[in-house]
Every structure is written in C-alpha cells, then in structure tokens.
Amino acid sequence: MTAVSNAAQLQDNDLLLEQQLCFALTVASRSVVGAYKPVLDNLGLTHPQYLVMLCLWESAPRTLRNISDALAQAPATISPLLRRLEEAGFVTRQRVDGNERSLAVGLTPAGTELRQQALAVPGTMMNRLGLTREQVGELHSSMMALIAATAEDHADAGSA
C-alpha cells in the first residue's frame, strides 16, 4: 500500500475557493438567513430568536439547557438571547420551583400570539426562494446527512 489515504487523493486546485464546500455552505447559510430578515422584521425577531420561539411554541415552559440542546448551541449563546426576548416581551424567565439551578423559560401572551403571524413564514419563505416543498425536503435531508457526518468519528487519519 502507498501512503495515500482511502478517500483523499491530493489534487491540483483543491485549494480553489470556489470549489470549497465549506465556503458554499457558509455563503448559503448567510444568504438564506438574510432572506428571512425582511420577513422576521415584521415579527420583531432575529433569525436565532425565531428558532428559539419555534422551540417554545412546540413546548413551554422548558429550561435554558433544554433549549440549548434542541438548538445545538452553547448555553452561553442562549442566555443573553433569552434576556433580549424577555425585554421584547415574548418570554418569561423564572427559576424552576424545586430546583433553583434551572431556569424555566415560558411564553407571555404576546409570545403565544406571535405564533399566528409566524404560521405564514415557512410558506412565504418557500415562495421567496422559489423552492417547492420537495426541494426543501431534499436539501433538508442533505443537511442532516452532513450534520451526521460531523458528529461521527472518522478516525482513520493516518493509521496506515
């Protein structure tokens, strides 16, 4: 066997910016989030805040830890975000009774009502992006597979 690893034969042009998946991925992420902005502005939410609200509309109250797990983000990221959502009047923050460590995050009436406006967002976004429900589904599957790939341990690196 040569010293060449299983998947990665070195190729010319491997460093070309335009063919980096990581580049296309970050641009796509920023572009899509940017496309949400005018729509979410009407609700008074940023995109990360919108994701937190989706979380709470499914189940509330829930703890900060629970939300941070659901969004795959560090508690330190969620903490100030919840503070701003409280200031905006959409969520409540109080300690769980029986466990002074945990923070119970709930919805205010305004937060609950906001869901009615949010119901139109997914459809609006599909239209704005010109994507069919099927295309969205396929892209979603691709992203889930990619997330799974980062979560696994492909530890072959240099074991030959």
Closer CB to a copy of itself, residue 33 or residue 64?
33
Which residues 94-133 are close enough to bind DNA by CB under 7 A? 98-103
In the numeric block, the tokens 């979410």 are attached to 40
User: CA-CA distance, 41 to 45, in Å (whole number)?
Assistant: 6
Which residues 2-41 are close enough to bind DNA by CB under 7 A? 26, 30, 34
Which of 80, 109, 130, 158 lies at the binding interface for DNA (CB under 7 A)?
80
**Which residues make up the interface to a copy of itself (CB under 8 A)?**
5-10, 14-17, 19-36, 47, 51, 54-55, 57-58, 70-72, 115, 118-133, 136, 138-140, 142-144, 146-147, 149-152, 154, 156-157
Q: How far apart are the first and last CA of the chain?
A: 9
Amino acid at 12: D
* Token pair listed for 146: 């990619």
Q: Which helix (H) or strand (E) holds 62?
A: strand 62-63
The one of a copy of itself, DNA, none whose footprint includes residue 16, by CB under 5 to 8 A per kind, is a copy of itself
User: CA-CA distance, 70 to 8, in Å (whole number)?
Assistant: 34
